[in-house]
Amino acid sequence: MAVTTLAGRLRTAAWLGWQIESNWADPLVFAIYSVARPLATALILMGIYWAVTGGHLQRDAFLLFYIGNAFHEYVLRLVVGMGWVVVEEREEYETLKYVYASPIGIFTYLWGRSSVKFAQATLSVVLMFLMGWFVLGLRWDLGVVRWGAFLLAFGIGLVAVVYLGFLVAGLALLLPRAAMTMNEGLAVALYLLCGVIYPIDLLPRGLQELTLLLPFTYWYEALRRFLIGHGASERLSALSDGQLLGALIAATLVFAVASHFGYLALERRARKLGRLDQTTLF
């Protein structure tokens, strides 16, 4: 009964999230936007890389860069999106206090809303890979793909992404509407620190060690290694496949526990300060 009730609440939150995400346009316009956005992103990445390298496109390096950017879409959608849910419910609809008072609860509500963000991110990733494969010529031997390890790493990394989203949502409870700047800034910081656009080996000492504490660093490396046969970082290449997965699991576990208790602490602070129904009119 408890599982059925939880599933029903998650389904309701997901349905509501879909209505909110798609109600700004008719279905055709929304579908065009959903398809055009990731395709435009792929072309922009191509243009950026072409400009930075002076027109000398190194296929293997660009492939690593492209894969990292594609999967970073989950961080952008889920982390920024979950933080925005709090701001949106409190500032625009002024319904956050009712979500807290309802049987569904804020934690389950955020889980349900994140499922819509996950679906949008997945669509973007699939379209970016199709664009890369058929239009940009970013192809590799599919025989080197280790699907079991890839799917395991993918699932573990998503756990870290979702729990980071909860932590960001907790911070958004304490901050005014300007919390959106913090949400997006955090996504950009991970973009620069965790090996999305360049190997972590290029970071100065100190920052490299910091990135090794974050599960996302191991996530991007594992996704590349199990998808195309090798990663981007020489430092992480010293780890065996088992060690890389072990580091990803350990970092994700610590990160998830810290994020869970961090969110609860931030929520208690927000309740104490009366921020759950406080609007800034900004």
Provide the residue ranges of all domains of the chain, joining segments of one domain with +: 2-273
Identify the top-confidence range among 60-69, 129-138, 157-166, 181-190.
157-166
Residue 254 pLDDT greater than 70, yes or no: yes
Residues 9-68: tens digit of each pLDDT: 888 888 888 887 777 667 777 777 777 877 787 778 778 777 777 666 667 888 888 899
Given a cut of 70, whether residue 182 has pLDDT beyond it is yes
Beta carbons within 8 Å of 152's beta carbon, 6+ residues apart: 245
pLDDT tens-digit readout, 206-236: 899 999 999 999 999 999 999 999 999 999 9
User: What percent of the chain is modeled with pLDDT above 90?
Assistant: 38
Q: Is residue 219 within 8 Å of residue 227, measured between CB atoms?
A: no
Residue 282, amino acid: F
Residue 138 three-state SS? coil
266 band by pLDDT with thresholds 50, 70 and 90: very high
CA distances from 114 to 31, 158, 172, 238 (A): 19, 11, 15, 35
Select from 107, 211, 127, 114 the least CA-distant residue to 159. Answer: 114
Residue pair 139/231 in contact (Cβ under 8 Å)? The answer is: no
Whole-angstrom distance, CA of residue 278 vs CA of residue 282: 12
pLDDT at residue 33 in the model? 74
Separation CA 2–CA 226 (nearest Å): 37
pLDDT for residue 79 is more than 70:
yes
Q: Is 119 exposed, middle or buried, given 0-12, 13-18 or 19+ CB atoms closer than 10 A?
A: middle
For 269, what's the count of Cα atoms within 13 Å in the CB-facing half-sphere? 12
Mean pLDDT of 137-161: 93
pLDDT band at 268 (very low <50, low <70, confident <90, very high): very high
